[in-house]
Structure 1
């Protein structure tokens, strides 16, 4: 519980911001949606999130490419299973699912290494895919009886946190740092090896920050 509830959400938000700083058109589209739904006279509220499908798609894409926990919680097989995609799992085995590898598998995703939130929008190849354990190609919270108990709260937090950052501020890379280091630090969680640095400026009316 401590591992899942500390830095996992902030790791996903940092990866999403890093990807959008490298793809300005994605950031511009997300901010345009926020301006259209929320406007610039107030800050984003949680009740606005259902009306922001592109922001939701950005969050899903970040979870697909950069899951905060690269390996699932350990599962346990009490009985032998003779056919799991052609493999035999003996009894008394503790399998670990490589969530990171699934999100980068070209058999599951078209151009998996490209940041394409549009794949989750209506008409996209992953239109119906959600990250809540119902589709095995996207299981950042795990799946089955061992799925993360805080998955719904985690989704809302990531969307609200990322949406607030995009809505309230303009973002750019510091001068001389046009290319980001996208290396990863492997462990229980999967943060950036080099923390993201960016320059921000306000984009809302001054009264909205009160």
Structure 2
């Protein structure tokens, strides 16, 4: 039996709708600028005819369950919400053709990519990695996973409210790169594995939150999530 100097961290996991077993989470992938209007509001328009998707990752330890209260993080004055559809991968795949991408899908969830926006933009403008802006503790918020093996979602309303006021409102049909294209492209770089989660990008309307704010979000046919912003650390 392997002996450790201290107890290893438990495997991050999510509840699954309708079954007692939990979904063990392996890696967290995020698609950057995957809605045209959001790319424009970030000052970086996307031309799909000449560009490919780009990605960043977060530590699985940043995974946080819907309904949680998270502290307003340190070293930022501009903490932003980003509502996203999350794809849960259920089968391994490498160099997967787009027409076979559905075979890797286990299900879907609602997600939030909470971001230290001031740190992200400062790093971006200097050509530095985004880690301090994106890989934030408790910043990868996810609802329970809804099993939909082999299903590709290509439409459905997505919305986010802060304290009951609508901030983000769009649809999955507005994704620049759709689910098939994302899985196919990402699998050129990584051997996708069961337990991987892909946050597929956020629409326009991202904005700041402050301690005490209540975030609620929904995706048609998938579910809802909620997050409360706690006191500053």
What's the TM-score once normalised by structure 2's chain length?
0.27
Larger radius of gyration: 1
What's the TM-score once normalised by structure 1's chain length?
0.29
Higher strand share: 2
Higher helix share: 1
